Amino acid sequence: MEPFLKAAESIPDVPFLSIWPELKEKASHLLQKLSDRSVVAVFPGGSIEERKWGSDRFRETAQRLSGLGYGIVVIGGKDDIKAGQEIVSGISNALNLCGKLSLPETAAVLKRSSLLITGDSGIMHLGSGLGTNIVALFGPGRERKWAPRGTNCVVINKHLPCSPCTTFGYTPKCNINAACMKLITVEEVYAQARNLLQRVS
């Protein structure tokens, strides 16, 4: 198993998903407010609560990146609308598109973005397929199996003794309030985000 993992980590950063021209135009229209700056996409959602980092942490990270001149766009489904509102609150160069995009439109926005900050999620895999730079936050999920690979991806994982705890798609009730995610700091995420963004600036 180990040789396969090493090979996977050396996979070239080649996108394997493409975007239709009309969707690129739609993304440009949706992000018109941020057209004069590089965009950082944020996905605060997750299939279970234990995989969510928290809108307060996402908001602080977004504020710091906004202060550097980056535009912020929050993506997600209808369940993420409230978190999106909390994240963009008070940030002038930010958009909350949660609940407003189809999956292809979300892909187009990700393709337009310089970076995606996300937990272990389907959106993470979508961004990986598009070749978007990613800061991926792992806790309950199995990093060695599901984390994105390549030099344009950074995985932050506290590797607690009890994680990963998800097995065959089932995550047991956590007795320590998802500490594996809570212990990931804004400083760590911000620093890794800046490192990746500097590579593409």
Q: What are the chain's domains?
A: 17-200 (3.40.50.2000)
Residue 136, beta-bridge partner list:
118, 155
pLDDT in tens, 97-123: 999 999 999 999 999 999 999 999 999
| Residues 136/156, Cβ–Cβ less than 8 Å | yes
Q: Is 148 left (phi over 0), alpha (psi -120 to 50) or beta?
A: beta
181: nearest Cα among 155, 151, 154, 153: 155
What per-residue confidence (pLDDT) applies to 5?
A: 25
Please list, residue by residue across 129-142, b when 16 or more beta carbons sit within 10 angstroms of its beta carbon and e when fewer do. ebbbbbbbbbbbbe
DSSP SS3 for 32: helix
Residues of the chain with pLDDT under 50: 1-12
What per-residue confidence (pLDDT) applies to 201?
A: 63
What per-residue confidence (pLDDT) applies to 4?
A: 24
Predicted structure pTM score: 0.89
What per-residue confidence (pLDDT) applies to 2?
A: 31
What per-residue confidence (pLDDT) applies to 29?
A: 92
Alpha helices in the chain (DSSP H): 2-9, 21-30, 55-67, 81-88, 103-112, 122-130, 143-146, 179-182, 186-200
